[in-house]
Amino acid sequence: MNPRTLTSVVAAAVTSVLVLAGCAAPSAPVAGASPSSSAAGWSYTDDIGNTVTLAQRPARIAGFTDQALSLFSYGIAPVAVFGRTDVATDTRFGGFDTSAMKIVGNSYGEINLEALAQAKPDLIVTGVYPTDRAGTIDSTQPYYGLKDREQQAKLAAIAPIVTVKVGGAGRDLLASNARLAIALGADQAKVDADKAGFEKAAANLTTVAKSSGLKVSAMYADANGIYLVKPEDEPETQLYKSLGVDYTELNPGGDYYWDIYSWENAGKVKVADIILLSDEGYQVEDLRKQKTFADDPALVAGQVYERRVAPMSYSAQAKNLDVLAGYLGSSKKVTS
Residue 36 · residue 55 · CB < 8 Å: no
Taking residue 290's Cβ as centre, other Cβ atoms within 10 Å add up to: 18
Residue 253 · residue 224 · CB < 8 Å: no
pLDDT at residue number 115? 98
CATH superfamily, domain at 196-330: Nitrogenase molybdenum iron protein domain (3.40.50.1980)
Q: What is the pLDDT of residues 56-97, one digit of tens each?
A: 999 999 999 999 999 999 999 999 999 998 999 998 998 899
Look at strands 225-229 and 258-261 and give their pairing. antiparallel
Residue 261 · residue 290 · CB < 8 Å: no
Domain boundaries, the chain: 32-186, 196-330
Sheet-wide strand order for 41-45 = 36-38, 41-45, 51-54
pTM here is 0.87
Which residues of the chain register pLDDT less than 50?
1-5, 7-35
* 137: Cβ contacts below 8 Å, ≥ 6 apart: 48, 128, 130, 131, 165
Sign of CA dihedral 272, 277, 282, 286: positive
In this structure, which CATH number among 3.40.640.10, 3.30.70.1450, 3.30.565.10, 3.40.50.1980 belongs to the domain 32-186? Answer: 3.40.50.1980
Taking residue 199's Cβ as centre, other Cβ atoms within 10 Å add up to: 17
Residue 16 · residue 3 · CB < 8 Å: no
pLDDT at residue number 28? 35
Fold: same for 32-186 and 196-330 = yes
pLDDT at residue number 18? 31
The per-residue DSSP string of 127-184 comes to EE--SSTT----TTSPPTT-S-HHHHHHHHHHS-EEEEE--S-HHHHHHHHHHHHHHT
Residue 232 · residue 258 · CB < 8 Å: no
pLDDT at residue number 39? 53
How many Cα neighbours within 13 Å face the side chain of 220?
23
Look at strands 274-277 and 215-222 and give their pairing. parallel
Residue 209 three-state SS:
helix
pLDDT at residue number 3? 44
For residue 266, the 8-state DSSP code is: G
